[in-house]
């Protein structure tokens, strides 16, 4: 049984809105609402006013989204030359970015430097040494690993050194005359609560204090990463409540430290919806199967790579039946929902996926050479 929230029906204006979008742009679509991204950004900024926000471009590298973050005056967390290219299209300066990939080719470092990025992240001595030729131009963050059981996506398994290693690395870097300016961590994406952030902030406070007694140029930057959650369960996430313990933990740090966060999911997830169309139906083994024009190889790829389940909506209500909604490819894993209760749908009916801005289109494939969903911008909501 699939436990995700499913909404049945919509008011006339909403139905008309979805139908007009498909009439105008075709199907499948991803509809991006800049107003929602601005609301999310402002809410996070209001609750953590002393933390500089760097949007994690990998969550959704679309140009319109980058443009909104640019308008908001936000920074960008980038990890590849391709992500730099998106920013270059908008003439966004590399000075507003941090390069957070702990493992880089030399060319990547040179491209990032030419782009204007000066902050790089490392978690081992080999990576520190790669920065030797550029040491006068870089400020480095050491990434620390704090494993989290409660996060949906563990981002401390593959990268990050232990707190003990951090001390050794900071001293090694100092010997090489490479400037470690602070520490960073990512406790995992889609955290259920902020316990891990709080624990990591306290541990980094202690580490920086220890390191600073042993190096000439003290560390004064703390990057608390991402992990701020999206509301996939429709329970209503109060970001102020989620961040209150983080805010309290940060308040204990020396007030001249520079604080950074790299939110991706929280900012962009609710700002994009997916619209797909029922292209076929069948009755198999007691289940009503509906075949859609988008699926897990496309906009719903986050169900595979990101372990997310998105709230769904159909535009009609009525008697419900056990139903399966599947994507357009010929592969059996291309199923969006295995067993949900839906009213009888007809070919041409629309299915809406909510909270679909983060790690959705970003991981889409072109499997079966099926066309990807077109991203359109909803500019009907006020944008200020």
306 binds ligand PLP (CB under 6 A): no
Q: Is 195 helix (H, G, I), strand (E, B) or coil?
A: helix
Query: Catalytic site residue 330?
Result: yes
Asked whether position 197 contacts ligand PLP by CB under 6 A, the answer is: no
Give the nearest distance from C-beta 159 to ligand PLP in angstroms: 8
56 binds ligand PLP (CB under 6 A): yes
Binding of residue 34 to ligand PLP (CB under 6 A): no
Q: Does 141 bind ligand PLP (CB under 6 A)?
A: no
Q: Which of 97, 100, 156, 274 binds ligand PLP (CB under 6 A)?
A: 100
Interaction between residue 263 and ligand PLP (CB under 6 A): yes
Closest CA to 141 of 267, 265, 257: 257
When CB distances to ligand PLP are compared, the closest residue is 226
Nearer to ligand PLP, 295 or 302 (CB): 302
58 binds ligand PLP (CB under 6 A): yes
77 part of the interface to ligand PLP, by CB under 6 A = yes
Q: Which stretch binds ligand PLP (CB under 6 A): 175-183, 207-215, 244-252, 257-265?
A: 257-265
Give how many residues touch ligand PLP by CB under 6 A: 18
Closer by beta carbon to ligand PLP, 18 or else 232: 232
Give yes or no for a cis peptide into 156 (omega within 30° of 0): no
Cα torsion 268, 58, 336, 22: sign = positive
Residues 226-255 that bind ligand PLP (CB under 6 A): 226-228
Distance, in Å, from the CA atom of 368 to the CA atom of 293, rounded to the nearest integer, reads 12
Q: Are 130 and 109 in contact (CB under 8 A)?
A: yes
By CB under 6 A, tell whether 262 contacts ligand PLP.
yes
Catalytic residue of the set 204, 243, 320, 330: 330
159: CB partners within 8 A, 6+ apart: 102, 103, 123, 143, 145, 186
Q: Which of 79, 22, 30 is nearest to 56 (CA)?
A: 79
DSSP 222-250: EE----PPP-TTSS---HHHHHHHHHHHH
128/120 Cα distance (integer angstroms): 10
59 binds ligand PLP (CB under 6 A): yes
265 binds ligand PLP (CB under 6 A): yes
Q: Which stretch binds ligand PLP (CB under 6 A): 33-41, 66-74, 87-95, 225-233?
A: 225-233
Start-to-end CA span in the chain (Å):
41
Least distance (Å) between residue 340 CB and ligand PLP: 26
- Measured at the CA of 224, the angle between CA 64 and CA 99, to 5 degrees, comes to 55
Nearer to ligand PLP, 288 or 354 (CB): 354
Based on CB atoms, which residue is closest to ligand PLP, 100 or 274?
A: 100
Token pair of 201, please?
A: 């902030």
Q: Which of 74, 94, 182, 225 binds ligand PLP (CB under 6 A)?
A: 225
Region 354-373 residues binding ligand PLP, contact defined as CB under 6 A: 358
> Is 97 an interacting residue with respect to ligand PLP (CB under 6 A)?
no
Select the span of 208-216, 219-227, 305-313, 330-338 touching ligand PLP (CB under 6 A). 219-227
CA distance 51 to 234: 27
Do 146 and 203 meet the contact criterion of CB atoms below 8 Å apart? yes
Q: List Cβ<8 Å contacts ≥24 apart for 103-110.
A: 103/127, 103/159, 104/130, 106/130, 107/81, 108/80, 108/81, 109/134, 110/134
Under the binding rule (CB under 6 A), the answer on residue 75 touching ligand PLP is: no
**Which positions are annotated as active-site residues?**
330
Residues that bind ligand PLP (CB under 6 A): 56, 58-59, 77, 100, 155, 186, 189, 225-228, 262-266, 358
């Amino acid at each position: 049984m699939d436990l995700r929230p499913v909404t049945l029906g919509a008011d006339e204006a909403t139905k008309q809105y979805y139908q007009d979008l498909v009439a105008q742009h075709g199907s499948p679509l991803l509809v991006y609402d800049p107003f929602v991204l601005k609301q999310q950004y402002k809410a996070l900024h209001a609750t953590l006013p002393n933390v500089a926000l760097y949007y994690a471009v990998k969550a959704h590298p679309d140009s319109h989204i980058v443009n909104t973050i640019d308008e908001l005056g936000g920074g960008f967390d980038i990890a590849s030359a391709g992500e730099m290219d998106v920013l270059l299209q908008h003439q966004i300066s590399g000075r507003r970015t941090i390069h957070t990939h702990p493992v880089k080719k030399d060319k990547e470092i040179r491209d990032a430097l030419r782009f204007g990025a000066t902050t790089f992240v490392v978690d081992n001595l080999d990576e520190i040494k790669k920065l030797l030729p550029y040491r006068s131009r870089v400020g480095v963050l050491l990434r620390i690993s704090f494993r989290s059981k409660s996060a949906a996506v563990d981002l401390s398994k593959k990268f990050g050194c232990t707190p003990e290693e951090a001390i050794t690395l900071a001293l090694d870097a100092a010997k090489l005359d490479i400037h470690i300016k602070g520490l960073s961590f990512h406790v995992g994406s889609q955290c259920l609560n902020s316990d891990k952030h709080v624990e990591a902030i306290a541990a980094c406070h202690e580490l920086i204090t220890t390191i600073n007694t042993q190096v000439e140029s003290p560390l004064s930057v703390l990057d608390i990463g991402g992990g701020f959650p999206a509301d996939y369960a429709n329970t209503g996430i109060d970001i102020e409540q989620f961040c209150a313990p983080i805010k309290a933990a940060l308040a204990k740090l020396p007030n001249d430290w520079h604080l950074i966060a790299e939110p991706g999911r929280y900012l962009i997830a609710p700002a994009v919806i997916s619209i797909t169309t029922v292209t076929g139906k069948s009755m198999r083994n007691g289940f009503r199967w509906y075949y859609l024009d988008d699926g897990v190889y496309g906009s719903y790829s986050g169900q595979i790579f990101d372990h997310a389940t998105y709230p769904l909506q159909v535009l009609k209500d009525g008697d419900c039946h056990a139903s399966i909604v599947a994507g357009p490819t010929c592969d059996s894993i291309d199923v969006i929902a295995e067993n949900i209760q839906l009213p009888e749908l007809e070919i041409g009916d629309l299915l809406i996926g909510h909270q679909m801005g983060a790690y959705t289109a970003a991981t889409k494939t072109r499997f079966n050479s099926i066309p990807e969903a077109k991203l359109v911008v909803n500019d009907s909501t006020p944008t200020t």
